Each structure stands twice: as C-alpha cells, then as structure tokens.
Amino acid sequence: MAKLTEKHNYDGTLVCVEGIDGSGKSTQLTLLRDWLKAQGKDVIFTEWNSSPLISQTTKLAKKKNMLSPRTFSLLHAVDFADRLKQVIAPALKAGFIVLADRYAYTAFARDVARGVDPKWVRQVYDFAIRPDLTIYFDIDPQTSMERICFNRTPKFYEAGMDLKLSNDPFESYILFQTRVISEYKKMLKEFEIVKLDANDSIHKKQTEIRKMLKKILEAKGVTI
C-alpha cells in the first residue's frame, strides 16, 4: 500500500471523487472539469469500469449475473490497472489535472462489502498512485435509492442481489449500500479522504471543491 500512502512525484494533479450512486459526485466532477477547462487547464477525465480492454467483458458478465465477489473484484482491478497505465499515469507525467470518477477506494468499499478480505483487496491495488485530493460524498442509502430509482428498479449488482440479502431489490439495495457506506467511512482517516455532505447545495459543494483544489495547485506553483 506504499503508493497509496505516499505522495507521488508527478507534475500533474490527481483528483478523485467517491461515494455511492446518487450522491452527486459525477455532477460535481463534471462541473469541476468544465471550470478547469474554462481556466485553460489541461484536464483528463476517467471513470470506473471504462477501459476498452476489459469493460465490455465485465458488462457481459454482469448481464448474465455470473460473477463471484472475488471475480468481480479482479475484473475491476484489471480495468483499473489498464486505465492507470494508459491514461492516468501518462497524463500526470505530462502535467495534466486528472479527474477520476471513482478510484481504488471504490473497490475497497464495494468488494469488502461483498465479503472479500480487505487485506487481499488492498494488495490487489497496491500499485495505485495516491491522489492529491480524494472527496467522499456522504449520503444515506434511502436518499440515494430515491434519487437513482425514481424511474427504475435497482440493478442486480447495484442492489447487492448477488449476496442474497433480500429477495426485494429495494430492500437489498438499502442493506448492501449501508455496508458500502460503512466501509467508506472506515477509510476516511486511513487515506485522508475529505468528506462532504451530499445533501448540501450543488453550488456550495462545488465552491468547497474548487477552494481545496486551488490550494493544492498553488502549492505546486500552478495559478488558477
């Protein structure tokens, strides 16, 4: 876990957002990206499970509901490793600001919530670069479900149906996401993750994020 606990030496800056679905993290990252680009900064965006190498395989396996917790974890680790090598690390070396919608911490929360050994998961991701700023958007599972399930039923893995916590997808979602939230909160101090209240206004959260990022960039001699 050395890389995730020690500052990197790249010229660029890595910003990650974490939280369960419906927390507004993706919206905030999109607003941050647009603002940085308007300031003339070089920005790269990457999101969880988006590597061309493995994402389609993962999606197909999910569709057939054929993933065990450990297989689920390994597929996402391969996806992450490919994006780190092909996108994140090169961009940081070039001095870009990299915005990541979910990072290794997603695996630490979801996989452990599925019963995978936390030490094993951390060893799988021991190559991950430590972000300059990681923000966790805190939201209760009931509000999360109301936001994402306004027009649909929770998805199979999203609701943790593979764990057989409940036959009802809505109840299963609450039970599973409660576990995920618990794991996130255990990580806050360990990885110096900043917690923001997901119920605050979009403007307030964005203002706080920009303020934190400005401080980090100024310490690197980057004006904004």
- Domains of the chain, start order: 2-217 (3.40.50.300)
Q: How confident is the model at residue 150 (pLDDT cuts 50, 70, 90)?
A: confident
Asked whether the beta carbons of 193 and 102 are under 8 A apart, the reply is no
The whole-angstrom distance between residue 158's C-alpha and the CA centroid of its chain comes to 14
Predicted TM-score (pTM) of this structure = 0.92
Q: Which of 201, 220, 214 is nearest to 36 (CA)?
A: 214
Q: How confident is the model at residue 64 (pLDDT cuts 50, 70, 90)?
A: low
% of the chain residues with pLDDT over 90: 79
The yes-or-no verdict on residue 23 having pLDDT over 70 is yes
The yes-or-no verdict on residue 149 having pLDDT over 90 is no
The whole-angstrom distance between residue 150's C-alpha and the CA centroid of its chain comes to 23
**pLDDT at position 65:** 67
% of the chain residues with pLDDT over 70: 96
Q: How confident is the model at residue 218 (pLDDT cuts 50, 70, 90)?
A: very high
Q: How confident is the model at residue 66 (pLDDT cuts 50, 70, 90)?
A: low
Burial of 119 by CB count in 10 Å (0-12 exposed, 13-18 middle, 19+ buried)?
exposed
**Distance (Å, rounded) from C-alpha 112 to C-alpha 114?**
5
The number of CA neighbours under 13 Å toward the Cβ of 97 is: 24
